Structure 1
Amino acid sequence: MEDIRIIDDPLYETLRNENVEAFNAAKALMEQYPSFSHGDFRGLDLRSMNADGLDLSHAYLRGADIRGVDFGNTNLEGASIAGAKISGCLFPRELHADEIVMSLNHGTRMRYNMMK
């Protein structure tokens, strides 16, 4: 995927180190969150991550373990979850199941189907 990057941010680094507990604790003290857009999360164990309000647009989650994560209020536009473990995930209402399956099985970027 193009433009995937390592983000220079301490909160992002806690996730890259798979320290989800420290990430959740630090995030709870923040009013605004940094953008993780285009972030590289390949193969990381992110179970129990508090993803509420995060911008993970165009993020690369290939092979990540995101089981049980609530993405209901997370921006996943353009993200890819190829080969990720997604059991128990809650995805945004606007994200159609076909988009999730295509991304999971083929690595396509997820597109939102905006309700009118």
Structure 2
Amino acid sequence: MPLRFPDDPLYQLLRAEKIDEFNQQRANLETLDFHECDFRGLDLRGLNASGLDLSGCYFRAADLRGIDFSNANLETASIAAAHISGCLFPSNIRAEEIALSVDKGIRMRGS
């Protein structure tokens, strides 16, 4: 599946690592669809990920430290070599899936 680079202004804020501005602009949105988007190498610390559809996304070498993903969809996302210290992941994704994704780049599957 090819990665997407949508023209969505909110996605462009994340690509520019303007996390505070992104969080302010999306504050009134309950859900947001970023499925299969490319977030490689970005510093996303501080991201409000609640309600985000991040299924199939690619986070290779991204800085995700401290992000609460518990209410986000990470099905089939890959977090190869990402910094994940302090992250809270959705309860349907097992620790083994997370570790394999960080170490080997596999796409995470929920249970």
Do the two structures share a fold, i.e. TM-score over 0.5?
Answer: yes
Aligned to 1:11: 10
Aligned to 2:66: 68
Residue 29 of structure 1, CA deviation:
2.9
Structure 2 residue 21 is matched with structure 1 residue 22: yes
CA distance in 2, matches of 1:31, 1:85: 26
Aligned partners of 2:31 and 2:53 also within 8 Å:
no
Residue 32 of structure 1, CA deviation:
4.2
Aligned to 1:89: 87
Q: TM-score, with normalisation over the residues of structure 1?
A: 0.93
Q: Mapping of 1:34-113 within 5 angstroms?
A: 35-113=33-111
Residue 3 of structure 1, CA deviation:
1.2
Question: Which consecutive unaligned segments of at least 5 residues does structure 2 have?
Answer: none
Q: TM-score, with normalisation over the residues of structure 2?
A: 0.97
Aligned partners of 2:60 and 2:82 also within 8 Å:
yes
- Partner amino acid, structure 2, of 1:6: F
Runs of 4 or more above 4 Å deviation: none
Question: Which consecutive unaligned segments of at least 5 residues does structure 1 have?
Answer: none
Cα 1:109–1:31 shift into 2, 3 Å: closer
Q: How many residues matched?
A: 111
Identity rate of aligned residues, in percent? 55
